[in-house]
């Protein structure tokens, strides 16, 4: 899977239908990212967090392992802690 960033234009200067359209475009772009976010006490492998292979995961509220990558499978196993150090 090749990730390509999507360029989102700056918002229009007024709060009208153009701003509403821009807001929808931002939401659609964000929802199209291969990203899962979840909150668990024991990590995604033990908490039935499912996603396709290649997804990135963000553990909300965890100070131990906040970033995960789905390395294999499409069930709740196959997540690996992402080391950024």
Three-state DSSP class for 68? strand
Q: Cα separation of 27 and 71, whole Å?
A: 26
DSSP 37: E
Question: Do residues 1 and 34 lie in contact, with contact meaning Cβ atoms separated by under 8 Å?
Answer: yes
pLDDT at position 33 is: 80
pLDDT at position 67 is: 85
Taking 70 as the threshold, does the pLDDT of residue 84 lie above it? no
pLDDT tens for 12-70 read 666 678 777 877 887 777 777 888 878 887 778 888 888 888 888 888 866 666 888 88
Question: Do residues 53 and 78 lie in contact, with contact meaning Cβ atoms separated by under 8 Å?
Answer: yes
Q: Is the pTM of this model over 0.75?
A: no
Nearest-5° Cα angle at 36, 20 to 32:
40
């Amino acid at each position: 899977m090749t990730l390509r960033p999507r360029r989102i234009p700056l918002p229009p200067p007024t709060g009208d239908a153009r701003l509403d359209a821009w807001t929808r475009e931002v939401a659609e772009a964000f929802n199209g990212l291969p990203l899962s976010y979840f909150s668990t006490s024991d990590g995604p492998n033990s908490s039935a967090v499912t996603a396709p292979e290649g997804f990135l995961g963000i553990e909300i509220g965890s100070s131990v392992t906040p970033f995960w990558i789905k390395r294999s499978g499409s069930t709740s196993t196959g997540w690996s802690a992402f080391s950024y150090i």
